[in-house]
Amino acid sequence: MNQAYIVIDNNEVKHIDKALMALKSDFKTRLTQMMTQADISQAPRQLAHHTQWLDKLWQCLFDGDAGGLMSPGQIRREHRDREHVRQIEMAAILQAEQELNGIHTGKKRLDDNGNLVDTPSVDLVATHKIIENSAIEQGLDIGLDSPAAMIRSVVKELSVRDLERSLNLRKIAILCESEILLSEPQPVSHQPVNAEWMTRWRESAENVFNPELQVLWARALILEVAQPGSFNLGVMAALLQLSVDDLEVVKIASKYAFPDFIFCGPGAYLSTDFHQGMFEIMEDLGLLSSAATTVSLASHSNEQFRLLLPCQNKALQIEHSLANKSLSLSVTKLTRIGKQMMKLCHSNADLAYLFDLGRTIKAQGYSVAIGDWRLEGSKHQFEVRLAL
């Protein structure tokens, strides 16, 4: 039996490559045009304590080529107003996304040179010869020009998807920058981010288009940039499986999360059907262990029993005169991935939950106080607000 081969001319391949490069270049130019034409020279904000963090982030993301975005270093050197710069860049990105969306809706198309043009009116489109040619009955005219046309069509489709991901990555980059500026300054390691980790993050994050989920991806990156090794590859696998509904459950659960566990004693605050459903979803996501257990917590001090249990923005201070006393609690433990995921959820602790736990601890003979838990510089500080 004779085999049929499709032969693609080298000139055709070069033509397709040229169209792809032209398309990317065109959108890169569009992304910067609005910004360069605007007057954005204003007094810079005070970013000195975030400078190293921002510069390392940009290097990890773009390796010297921001693809139309101003780098934090360039903003500083040219004394630009960062917020104004990013507003203009976001407007350019949104405009580019709208034009790409025109391709999906059929209002726009890419010509053979990679240029985005209006789709011609149906009345102006010539009838294809296959419609009028009687040879269709014998199948003599079908597919004669399909290999090259099909490849060109696929390349254009991939080009559009590639551009959508590139634009999305730039939106997340701007989000990362904002998250850093909203964070307390912290030490930034000179150690580079693992190349495999960064590649996995990029390939995953650029396909995440939900704004709420993008925030978690942004936070994971900036914390990994500051201290490489903070998050393993399993966190990204967990993030990828999160739906928007799952995310809401995770956010609620984070209000109850201590560094290693969630308190779940019999008859406790989290014994309702709603909270039990929350536990089941967290287990399904691999963030919580499947069964409750009892933990014994020791003192942080040798002179007397003293223990701090932080929960998001609050903490419980637990004290007893006997240093060797041990505190027993019924808990559900967070998995390794669960602990890392909780770091990405900036929630406020549920005070009713903390008061319930405080009463449980106080019943064991301890004195308990609740207070604020916040990061100052590279260290957390506790400030008592109320003795229970």
Burial state string for 62-79 with b = 16 or more CB within 10 A and e = fewer than 16: eeeebbbbbbbeebbeee
Name which of 325, 333, 178 is nearest 257 in CA terms.
Answer: 333
Q: Both tokens of residue 187? A: 């030490």
Instruction: Round to whole Å and give the CA distance between 324 and 41.
Output: 62
Q: What is the pLDDT of residue 11?
A: 54
- Say which residue, 327 or 64, is predicted with more confidence: 327
Query: Which residues face 262 on adjacent strands?
Result: 257, 332
Burial of 202 (0-12, 13-18, 19+ CB in 10 A): middle
Instruction: Round to whole Å and give the CA distance between 154 and 148.
Output: 10
pLDDT in tens, 8-56: 455 544 554 555 555 555 555 555 554 454 444 443 444 566 899 999 9
Query: Which residues face 379 on adjacent strands?
Result: 376
CA angle 9, 15, 16 (to 5 degrees): 95
> pTM here?
0.77
Instruction: Round to whole Å and give the CA distance between 181 and 270.
Output: 35
pLDDT band, residue 327 (cuts 50/70/90): very high
Residue-averaged pLDDT of the chain: 80
Q: What is the dihedral of CA 13, 19, 22, 28, to 10 degrees?
A: -100
Element spanning 123, H or E: none
> Do 262 and 332 touch, CB atoms closer than 8 A?
yes
CA atoms within 13 A on the CB side of 95: 16
pLDDT in tens, 219-259: 999 999 999 999 999 999 999 999 999 999 999 999 999 99
Name which of 41, 112, 111 is nearest 77 in CA terms.
Answer: 41
pLDDT band, residue 145 (cuts 50/70/90): low
